């Protein structure tokens, strides 16, 4: 049984043991211990003491950057082993997990480079007798709670900016995918992170996660996951008056205008929903196609979807792998059957795949559904699977109303050859990220987050570091004359 990283020590957690399974065939990856409530309390108390020590918080940003650059080099050294482990932990095809590791490396190097040029500010001087400055200081102990769909990218995206800001971090990985988080801890330890600054505490969210976010020494909650959990965490943060970053669910619209390049748009739409088996908060799961293109576009969409290669994640030819678990597969299928009950027509897919080796794992066919309205439940609720609903539209006014008719606002895609139309439409869509003639492209330098119930706050970019810090103003008086008010 694997040890976990508690308060800077590798040891057995006192919680119930847990297991990681390979979704491709349900074979056992590893059994590991989990944290108990006592482990949580100890980790946070040690983290607070370690943070208050000058060994990390008071380092110059350039000194913290050295540790992060070393961490990036270690990730680079071990990139293939990490990609293989990520593949086994959540079943993503190897080509995708290699991309996730590359993203984690790039994120770390960007943040470390940003630290090299991180400035405090001499503010606009409005007084003759004082100098005014604006500084940013660390918050303290950060609770970082991550999802199972892209663990290494999500965890580095929280860990590295929080550490860069001089904080301590308690990382709570998803129950189903805790192995990568433990490997990251080993490599941060090797890079020279001071003892106690990081703990990795696997376990049930309702137990371990709840204990972490309610601890009085935790000063910020950074969470990526479902909207219902995010709402509960926001209530806790509001009660405790601490800050949050919440990256939550999505039901993202993809829009094909009447002048779109059809080949470009078909490929982009398919990638936007069926890569990662649709298990992405930004998946383009609602497709709006102008009626003049609808029949031609739908035919090409079905043809190319039928040609997707579903298979074992280790096979380099595989484009679509298994979903995370049997339970999640059953939930996806329940939504598909619900769509049929609401009047939807399954154009392709709509079933579990059981041919040959696929029978050993949790594989679901890429699915396209037509015949629904935007108000039907499968167009309003996040499925988090390979299910695309296609809807025709005729005018942009009704399109915008329907695209925005959602509790979510994480992302959207627009396909058109007219960039004036694209710009105007992008400004009217209620979403945090808009892709034009592309989809699911990311840059660590560009902020990411959602509107409405898709979240609060932004990650990435230079401000991603500052989101883990608090601002302080300092007035430095130049006047040695006693204040006359007292005379």
Q: Would you name the residues annotated as active-site residues?
A: 247
Strands 345-348 and 451-452 turn out to be unpaired
- From residue 472, how far is each of 54, 62, 133 by CA, in Å? 19, 20, 8
**Buried/exposed code over 431-446 (b: 16+ C-beta within 10 A; e: otherwise):** bbbbbbbebbebebee
Rg (alpha carbons) of the chain, rounded to whole number: 24
Strands 451-452 and 408-409 turn out to be antiparallel
Which residue in the block uniquely carries the two structure tokens 């790039």? 106
Alpha-carbon distance of 157 to 323, in angstroms, equals: 23
Per the CB < 8 A criterion, the answer to whether 129 and 477 are in contact is: yes
As to burial, measured by CB atoms within 10 angstroms (0-12 exposed, 13-18 middle, 19+ buried), residue 389 is buried
Alpha-carbon distance of 272 to 287, in angstroms, equals: 10
Per the CB < 8 A criterion, the answer to whether 273 and 388 are in contact is: yes
- As a dihedral over the C-alpha atoms of residue 196, residue 200, residue 201, residue 206, rounded to 10 degrees, the angle is 120
DSSP 8-state assignment for residue 207 = I
- Cα angle for residues 289, 225, 194 (degrees, 5° grid): 135
- As a dihedral over the C-alpha atoms of residue 314, residue 320, residue 326, residue 328, rounded to 10 degrees, the angle is 130
For residue 48 the two structure tokens come to: 């607070």
Alpha-carbon distance of 230 to 223, in angstroms, equals: 7
Per the CB < 8 A criterion, the answer to whether 317 and 311 are in contact is: yes
Per the CB < 8 A criterion, the answer to whether 277 and 51 are in contact is: no
Alpha-carbon distance of 327 to 349, in angstroms, equals: 19
Alpha-carbon distance of 446 to 388, in angstroms, equals: 27
Strands 408-409 and 168-172 turn out to be unpaired
As to burial, measured by CB atoms within 10 angstroms (0-12 exposed, 13-18 middle, 19+ buried), residue 171 is buried
**Buried/exposed code over 413-430 (b: 16+ C-beta within 10 A; e: otherwise):** bbbbeeeebbeebbeebb
């Amino acid at each position: 049984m694997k040890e976990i990283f508690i308060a800077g020590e590798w040891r057995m957690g006192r919680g119930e043991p847990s297991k990681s399974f390979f979704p491709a065939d349900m074979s056992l990856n590893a059994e590991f211990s989990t944290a108990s409530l006592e482990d949580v309390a100890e980790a946070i108390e040690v983290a607070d003491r370690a943070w208050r020590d000058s060994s990390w918080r008071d380092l110059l940003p350039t000194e913290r950057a050295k540790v992060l650059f070393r961490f990036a080099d270690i990730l680079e050294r071990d990139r293939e082993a990490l990609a293989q482990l990520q593949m086994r932990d959540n079943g993503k095809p190897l080509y995708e997990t290699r991309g996730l590791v590359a993203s984690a490396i790039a994120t770390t190097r960007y943040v470390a480079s940003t630290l090299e040029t991180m400035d405090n500010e001499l503010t606009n001087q409005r007084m003759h007798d004082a100098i005014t400055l604006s500084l940013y200081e660390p918050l303290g102990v950060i609770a970082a709670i991550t999802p199972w769909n892209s663990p290494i990218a999500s965890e580095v995206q929280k860990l590295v900016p929080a550490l860069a800001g001089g904080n301590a971090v308690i990382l709570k990985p998803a129950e189903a995918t805790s192995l990568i988080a433990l490997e990251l801890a080993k490599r941060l330890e090797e890079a020279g992170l001071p003892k106690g600054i990081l703990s990795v505490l696997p376990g049930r969210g309702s137990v371990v996660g709840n204990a972490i976010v309610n601890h009085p020494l935790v000063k910020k909650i950074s969470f990526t996951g479902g909207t219902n959990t995010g709402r509960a965490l926001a209530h806790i943060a509001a009660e405790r008056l601490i800050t949050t970053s919440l990256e939550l669910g999505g039901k993202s619209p993809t829009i094909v205008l009447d002048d779109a390049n059809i080949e470009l748009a078909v490929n982009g739409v398919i990638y936007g929903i069926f890569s990662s088996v649709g298990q992405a908060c930004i998946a383009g799961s609602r497709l709006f196609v102008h009626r003049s293109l609808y029949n031609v576009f739908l035919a090409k969409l079905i043809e190319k979807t039928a040609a997707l290669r579903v298979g074992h994640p280790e096979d380099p030819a595989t484009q679509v792998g298994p979903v995370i678990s049997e339970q999640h597969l059953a939930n996806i299928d329940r939504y598909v059957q619900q769509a049929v009950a609401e009047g939807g027509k399954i154009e392709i897919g709509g079933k579990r795949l059981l041919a040959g080796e696929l029978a050993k794992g949790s594989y679901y066919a890429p699915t396209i559904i037509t015949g629904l309205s935007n108000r039907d439940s499968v167009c309003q609720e996040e499925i988090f699977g390979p299910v695309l609903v296609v809807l025709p539209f005729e005018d942009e006014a009704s399109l915008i109303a329907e695209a925005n008719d959602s509790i979510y606002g994480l992302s959207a895609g627009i396909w058109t050859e007219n960039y004036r139309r694209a710009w105007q439409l992008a400004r009217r869509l209620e979403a945090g990220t808009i892709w034009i003639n592309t989809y699911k492209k990311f840059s660590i330098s560009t902020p990411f987050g959602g509107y409405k119930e898709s979240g609060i706050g932004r990650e990435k970019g230079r401000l991603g570091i500052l989101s883990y810090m608090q601002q302080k103003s300092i007035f430095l008086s130049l006047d040695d004359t006693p204040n006359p008010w007292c005379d």
